[in-house]
Amino acid sequence: MEKSKVLVVGGTGYLGRRIVKASLAQGHETYVMLRPEIGLDIDKLQMLLSFKAQGARLLEASLDDHRSLVAAVKQVDVVVSAMSGVHFRSHNLQLQLKLVDAIKEAGNVKRFLPSEFGMDPARMGHALEPGRVTFDEKMEIRNAIEEANIGHTYISANCFAAYFVPNLCQMRTLLPPKERVNVYGDGNVKAIFMDEDDIATYTIKTIDDPRALNKTVYLRPLENILSQNELIAKWEKLSGKALEKIPIPSAEFLASMEGTDLANQVGVGHYHHIFYEGCLTNFAIGDDGEEEGSLLYPKRPRRDPRWLRRPLQAQPQGGARSGAHATSSGHDEAEVLPELLPRRRWGIAGCNSGDDGMSAVRLGMKRKSVTVAGDDGKDKKIKKKRSAESRRNLAGIWRSEVGGAARCLWWHVVATGGKEGSAGVDAAERGKRGSENDGKQIVELI
């Protein structure tokens, strides 16, 4: 089947740039909307030029010029909007109504993916003010799409990992805490953390998939479902340093928004829904209009994936074994993994960057040793290293080879619990020559 032509609106934004790259990587003829105001931003102009060099086409259009919008969407089969919807730019969401009008008039667009990518607004009718406006506006756009009979897919990607994981879900910082960490409630509520590159990959995979047409696709890879306590435990294991846990009761947390600015009030409300109510995982997937992304696009068949559709908050009696995450089916993840999980994991462990260091660590997770070429040209075997220092060094090399600072360190932590495979050790050994102290520097950062 011929792949659809894709127009990305908001292609220079935080998620939009990743969607453009994912579309190009998956072989779609990719267009990026060039809005007049971008001409004043040198960084975005340079990004657009880099997209063009990679094969993307730039389409000049303005959300304030209906004719230009119609002309732009007439050239493609699918429109993906990645316009920012954070509270201080929530009006951007309503600008998408102009896109809906243009798509309706053009009549040729097979599918529209509006800017959502977070919590499912259809399940947030109870959301707290003032953050509720974001969900209300997203529902307004959904209603307009459906009233116009436009084919659509809604992507619910939960928490962007880079904003929640390195900081252990702390507000007002993206860095790991040094001495103490705020724990929301008992810290056991499950949330879902998605790597932004993986969100983009899943998004593009849906656009030609009839199974995702006129449906909400939830991204719930097993490896990405963690409680705050589990994140903290993994960080402590990697850093070798215990943090003081400060439990924050629900009422106290909500009271913290009083007298603060709008941004903080919105953030407190959203955090409360995620980490106290469990709004990302306290429902089952399975209605006619819903699908789960990692089931639609698995790396290999899974024997019994049905439990992934269930609510994920329930815990088995007695808890999980050390080093294993409890699943809602009552099994330890350690028991489920060999049967249900793909060999090359998606989600946090996936990253799909193509980087040698990242791929080596990911592929070496279950191997005891690996054969590599030595400096003398002869093959040699390197065995696993399990010391805390080797894990720290690997994390440092990870940062230096992949980029992304503390964020990329966490992909390793969450995916493997700090246990590198031997291929990853090889990547670390190679990287040490140019960055011998990176591991120590990252650990000292906390």
* DSSP codes, 177-226: PSSEEEEETTS--EEEEE-HHHHHHHHHHHTT-GGGTTEEEE---GGGEE
pLDDT in tens, 413-436: 444 444 333 333 333 333 333 333
* CA-based nearest residue to 187, from 250, 237, 128, 269: 250
pTM over 0.75: no
Q: What is the dihedral of CA 91, 96, 101, 104, to 10 degrees?
A: -160
pLDDT in tens, 65-98: 999 999 999 999 999 999 986 544 446 778 899 9
> Which residues is 6 bridged to in the sheet?
30, 78
| Continuous H helices in 341-437 | 356-363, 388-402, 406-416, 422-432
Distance (Å, rounded) from C-alpha 222 to C-alpha 192? 9
DSSP 152: B
pLDDT at 109 (0 to 100):
98
* CA-based nearest residue to 412, from 275, 225, 174, 223: 223
Distance (Å, rounded) from C-alpha 419 to C-alpha 237? 10
DSSP 332: B
In CATH, 6-157+195-222 is 3.40.50.720: yes
* CA-based nearest residue to 222, from 116, 328, 363: 328
Residues identified as active-site: 138
Distance (Å, rounded) from C-alpha 445 to C-alpha 359? 25
DSSP 38: G
pLDDT under 50 in the chain at which residues? 87-90, 300-308, 314-370, 372-373, 384-386, 389-446
pLDDT at 174 (0 to 100):
92
Domain(s) labelled CATH 3.40.50.720 in the chain stretch across 6-157+195-222
The residues, ordered by sequence, that sit 6+ positions from 354 with a Cβ below 8 Å of its Cβ are none
pLDDT at 377 (0 to 100):
55
pLDDT at 320 (0 to 100):
35
Distance (Å, rounded) from C-alpha 113 to C-alpha 216? 10
